[in-house]
Structure 1
Amino acid sequence: MTATGSTSASVRPQQVRTAAVRALPAPVVALGVFATVRGAGVLLLAVGSWWAGRSPVRVLGFSWDSVWYLAIASHGYGRTQMWADGGWVQSDCAFFPLYPLLVRLAGATPWAGLLVAWTAAAVAAVGVYRVGELVYGPRVGVLLVTVWAVVPHAVVLSLAYTEPLLSALAAWALYALLRERWLWAAGLAVLAGLTRPTGIAVAAAVSVTALHAVCVGRSRAPEVWAAGLLAPVGWAAYVLAVGVRTGDPAGYFTVQRRWGSRFDFGVGALDSAGRVLSGGQVMLATVVTVAVLAVAALMAVLLVLDRTPLPLLVHTAVLLVITFGGAGFFESKPRFLLPAFPLLLPVAAAMARARPRSAVVVTAGLAGLSYGYGLYLLLVARVPL
């Protein structure tokens, strides 16, 4: 009698905790997992920054592109930086306006940049969950968010960068498309186009899906036509604005070329991959970038074989084309793929079929690698992100 009572008492707290977790809405669980994983990453980065004698706020909120965004938020456009060694002429017109506008509204400080980025990352996590839930179910949705939070370049989701904002807009635009909420999808695509150059992938997903609905589905709904036409407006408007500002119709692309960024159909990426495979002297960041791109290509094949919904395929395909085909800062390519979270659907689906303990072990292992690589990128390698 006593032994039975003792066993029941020892099991009861665990049963209560399990029941409490199961009682939570799945989006809350997904957001909680994301916040826990990325929060631990931020804490580890803060400790590492202190240990290295650097300010955690400056590391997280004032590194690389964050410096440019904060300058735009504080003073507006108009900054140009010249590099005699590389022949680069870097203009802040290369940066799209939505994120610095939000940072300006939040106070135009590194903390403001982090507040906007972290809020957007949380919104993105719920959107990523919603897409995964709609395609494969709640369990896959939670695991999709979990895997997205521990990819090698997930540290960027904790920085004052635009990827969290673009990911949020992309996730909810894709969700709206899957639910056939055309005008919501178009509006989010317009905002995505004002966030980053790669925001064109969201617009492409909306426009191609609308075209498919018209040509294949024989839809005559005015909102479908409106969505297809309006989706690229944000991206096009900023590109045209830079053209007007510079007095050159192709001004935005000239600005990008002077930064060293251009579309070379993957020649630069293949060259970097060749140096890695031949055993040449390359940084760890270059090796990881090649590995990430190779895995992304494999995941893309699996997406097609799984008959993934058209909006997800188009969005992902455009991001892959831009990432693989663009020349410039090679080690930055993995962060361009952060909004391409549908690539992780096959991984999340496989984890959902595995034992819970196996999923936890895999997640913990990936998180450890992601944390370590994030510390390396920001505190050791210091390569452009």
Structure 2
Amino acid sequence: MADATPNDEQPIAQSSDHKAWQVATIAFAATRIPLAIFAWLIARYRPHELRPGHFLLHGGEAHANWLVNAFQRWDAYWFLNIVREGYRFFGVVEQVHNVRAGLPETNVTPFPLYPLLMEVGSWATGDPSSAGLVISNVCFFFSLVYLFKLAALEMDERRATIAVWFFAVVPWTYAFSAIYSESLFFLLLVGAMYAVRKGYIFWAGVLGMLASLTRLPGVFIAIPIGWEIATRYKWRIPDLIKKGWPVLLVPAGTLGYFAYLWHLTGHPNAYFIGQQGWHKEFVMPWYHLGVWFREGMDPEAWMDATVTMIGIALLAFGYKKMRTSYWLYALASFLMLMCSSYLLGLPRYLSAIFPVYFVLAELFERYPAWARGLSYGFAVGAPVVFFVWTTWSYAF
């Protein structure tokens, strides 16, 4: 794999902070402004989708502000529900049926950091929905900045810029501006990796802990952090014990949340019980391939299969091109997604695996015509996916 020397204190490619901010600002404006315009058009021509007072999901209502409301869909109402009522546990319940019927729901599957920030932010904005929108977009902007900074440690500025643009126009880019935890999660991941690459090991552990308090896959950031620390100190055990201990902070976020749920519910595995309500159970990573070939595929399965094949192809191509620590993180995150019996949301979950954008940048350089076509497809697909999502047609 494409690693530098273990004790390499200097970045592979130097990039000024000014360039990172410049690229991030342009990418943010060029993608978020069109999304806002598209949201306004939907509010104007599909007003029934945005009517204030209209009951939506588990006790939630449409927001009076059209911009906030356009990004307040599907899982956003779980976060709002947690802010409003706290965590609730009713054992294994049929979540899809109960949501539609207004029956009790278990809401322990969203991790707590994002709704906690929404609650704190609501003191300034006046309501948690507005706070969530601000938090998501601020985190998305800084994700662009630090993705560039991290990419610039591996490649030249041109390819780092390409990586940022692929991230900004990925078809599920709406999720990074929506009242979802994706942008916060992504920022913490790239922040943790940038910190450990620059030698700030303690802060890498802290950011990794916060990532694992945001979403379950965040715990896997311990793998690349640990790998970078180990290679930095040439796997010398005394040095790893003395200087590498902050990696142990990473799982503390997830374990702390599980401990809280145990205290709240009396069930040490309350989180996984809650997941069963969404038909999510552990399966072998090749399970879905068997289902697709055995039972055939509907349009949803075709989308999941296509995204899965793209993910496998990027992992395969990235094996030789990607830094070892990044590839290990991408592999662990991908396998976790494939080991779930229910793939709803797979495309946007994959879009949060940051190393894929480095692979796409390399592909752009090696196969420019193909990669340019892919980038155009991304740019066209993004508004279509956003329209389908914001009009309650599909939850992606």
State the TM bucket, normalised to the shorter chain: 0.7 to 0.9
Distance 2:188 2:17 in 1: 25
Distance 2:169 2:320 in 1: 25
Q: Which residue is equivalent to 1:340?
A: 353
In the TM superposition, what are the counterparts of 1:125-274 in structure 2 within 5 Å? 125-211=144-230, 216=235, 220=239, 224-266=243-285, 269-271=288-290, 273-274=292-293
Q: Which residue is equivalent to 1:293?
A: 308
2:41 to 43, 47, 51: 47
Q: Which residue is equivalent to 2:317?
A: 302
Matched, 1:317 2:308: no
Distance 2:38 2:238 in 1: 51
Q: Is the 8 A contact 2:25 2:141 kept in 1?
A: no
Q: Is the 8 A contact 2:88 2:107 kept in 1?
A: yes
Distance 2:219 2:365 in 1: 32
Residues 1:245 and 1:214: Cα distance change in structure 2 (over 3 Å) = farther
SS of the aligned residue for 1:103 comes to: helix
Matched, 1:34 2:27: yes
Q: Is the 8 A contact 1:207 1:227 kept in 2?
A: no
Residue-by-residue CA offset, 1:137-167 (whole Å, 9 max, x unaligned) = 2111111010011222222112110111000
Residues 1:200 and 1:289: Cα distance change in structure 2 (over 3 Å) = same
Q: Is the 8 A contact 2:225 2:247 kept in 1?
A: yes
Q: Is the 8 A contact 1:177 1:311 kept in 2?
A: no
Letter in 2 for 1:376: V
Q: Is the 8 A contact 2:262 2:270 kept in 1?
A: yes
**Structure 1 residue runs without a partner (length 5+):** 1-22
Letter in 2 for 1:325: C
Residue-by-residue CA offset, 1:275-312 (whole Å, 9 max, x unaligned) = 79x4x4x23x4422221111111101111111x22331
Q: Is the 8 A contact 1:98 1:194 kept in 2?
A: yes
Q: Is the 8 A contact 1:121 1:164 kept in 2?
A: yes
Distance 1:339 1:85 in 2: 25
In the TM superposition, what are the counterparts of 1:348-359 in structure 2 within 5 Å? 348-352=361-365
In the TM superposition, what are the counterparts of 1:45-84 in structure 2 within 5 Å? 45-53=39-47, 54-55=49-50, 56-57=66-67, 59-78=69-88, 82-83=93-94
Kindly state the Cα deviation for residue 186 of structure 1 after the two structures are TM-superposed: 0.3
Q: Is the 8 A contact 1:66 1:161 kept in 2?
A: yes
Distance 2:17 2:234 in 1: 42
Letter in 2 for 1:185: A
Distance 1:350 1:324 in 2: 24
Residues 1:258 and 1:195: Cα distance change in structure 2 (over 3 Å) = same
Larger helix percent: 1
Letter in 1 for 2:346: K
Residue-by-residue CA offset, 1:30-60 (whole Å, 9 max, x unaligned) = 2123211233123223313432222244653
Residues 1:272 and 1:346: Cα distance change in structure 2 (over 3 Å) = same
Kindly state the Cα deviation for residue 189 of structure 1 after the two structures are TM-superposed: 0.5
Residues 1:98 and 1:124: Cα distance change in structure 2 (over 3 Å) = same
Matched, 1:377 2:389: yes
Q: Which residue is equivalent to 1:109?
A: 128
TM-score, structure 1 normalization: 0.82
Distance 1:52 1:186 in 2: 46
Q: Is the 8 A contact 1:272 1:290 kept in 2?
A: no
SS of the aligned residue for 1:44 comes to: helix
Kindly state the Cα deviation for residue 251 of structure 1 after the two structures are TM-superposed: 2.2
Distance 2:352 2:132 in 1: 19
Distance 1:220 1:206 in 2: 15
Q: Which residue is equivalent to 1:4?
A: none
Residues 1:272 and 1:156: Cα distance change in structure 2 (over 3 Å) = farther
Once superposed, what is the RMSD of the aligned Cα atoms? Answer: 3.0
Residue-by-residue CA offset, 1:251-287 (whole Å, 9 max, x unaligned) = 22222223322221235532564379x4x4x23x442
Q: Which residue is equivalent to 2:7?
A: none
Distance 2:43 2:79 in 1: 22
**Structure 2 residue runs without a partner (length 5+):** 1-15, 51-65
Q: Is the 8 A contact 1:33 1:146 kept in 2?
A: no
Distance 1:196 1:335 in 2: 13
* Paired residue total: 356
Structure number with larger C-alpha Rg: 1
Q: Is the 8 A contact 1:163 1:338 kept in 2?
A: no
Residue-by-residue CA offset, 1:53-103 (whole Å, 9 max, x unaligned) = 222446534211111111222332236595488689741221111000110
Residues 1:27 and 1:354: Cα distance change in structure 2 (over 3 Å) = farther
